[in-house]
Structure 1
């Protein structure tokens, strides 16, 4: 069974950056990258699938706790012929860093693709989500949420 990238960390001076995995997508490589000869790229495929990890970066600097992107969220979706997507580990990985959602003071979105905004609320923003699964609030309710004007 495919697995997301492992949690990892780097410290530069007084700043620590931690990669917090949330999940992964097992993608059909021919759909994602048509025409690529994967035989010339050994080690890129696992059981014929291209595995892409979803996650966030936690930056701790100067007393601040910043999350860069909010991964994919709680999902388990099969897109026939395209990909199988699984997520939901971000809050557990954050807790393993000794933090909760209330400890995050800033969320920074690099862009607003689905795999970068999944934990914005308690319901991942998948297309065709039933109305019964409406969000009830922000996951990181105490944090200031930032993005570029072009993304907004």
Structure 2
């Protein structure tokens, strides 16, 4: 789902038109000629070791949201997912990179006036740190509403599992690891996928837009710990730079998949990077 043109300046205020203009490889896919960033919101559907896995569930339909672009949507997400071979009842695992409204919306759908799990046969995963943070937080009304309609119903149905990543990456299924990626939220994870001698990495919101490869110092205005978010982003990008690992940006506009290359020599946490797009299948 493409996000409105105003999302970029709001979300990444330091990514000014001048900075975008100085990064020509962003155009035309990730920015327009005026320097406005293009962003999307993604849910990733993966078949891995015979399992059907979703990573994040997007914004959802019919949800009461403070952001007008997310409020009371009526999209064909489930139809598209089914056409891709992921009928809701067939999904085995739902991985939530973190508990923000644009990543948990399709956890549930409205049935007979109640919010019920969209994927009734799946286990939903988030981290223990993420859950504990929000459970203790003094949340504003819109976030409380999001938890009521999109998070608490999966907990109440007994479908939610909490994963402890405090000691490092955790393999939650063959070929699927959760990598701690704190900063944007305390318990956020990136998701590493391995199979058939190939590796992919889903960023979550550790990286919102390819401009942050060229300028990893640019953070999101909703990062809870901006300094930690930057350190996480730099380390994550350095870990996959100049390798065959496919980077999948949770908010990258199409083409969403690509590889990370260093712009200044051997990759280090202080490097600057670029994104080389790869073709990806979309439905």
Aligning the two structures, in what range does the TM-score lie when normalised by the shorter sequence? 0.5 to 0.7
TM-score of the aligned structures, taking structure 2 as reference length = 0.36
Summarize the Cα distance change of 1:30–1:146 in structure 2 as closer, same or farther, 3 Å threshold: closer
Partner of 1:36: 15
1:142 to 97, 107, 121: 121
Aligned pairs, number: 118
| Bigger relative CO (Cα 8 Å, ≥ 6 apart) | 1
The question of whether the paired residues in 1 share the 8 Å contact of 2:17 and 2:35 is answered with no
1:107 to 80, 88, 94: 94
Tell me the distance in 2 between the aligned counterparts of 1:95 and 1:64. 15
Tell me the secondary structure at the aligned position of residue 78 of structure 2: helix
What is the RMSD computed on CA atoms of the aligned residues?
3.0
Contact 2:18 2:35 in 1 (8 A): no
Deviations 1:96-135 (A, max 9, x none): 2123100001111111111110101115xxxxxxxxx964
Query: What residue number does 1:84 align with?
Result: 69
Segments of 5+ residues of structure 2 without an aligned counterpart are: 22-26, 132-283
- Contact map agreement 1:69 1:107 (CA 8 A) in 2: yes
Q: Is the 8 A contact 2:108 2:117 kept in 1?
A: yes
TM-score by length of 1: 0.63
Q: Distance in 2 between matches of 1:67 and 1:35?
A: 32
Q: Which has the higher strand share?
A: 1
Q: Bigger radius of gyration, 1 or 2? A: 2
Residue segments in structure 1 that go unaligned for 5+ positions in a row: 1-22, 124-132
Say if 2:4 is the partner of 1:26.
yes
Name the residue aligned to 1:151. 130
Question: Closer, same or farther in 2 for the Cα pair 1:150/1:87, shift >3 Å?
Answer: farther
Relative to 1, partners in 2 of residues 1:107 and 1:36: Cα closer, same or farther, differing over 3 Å? Answer: closer
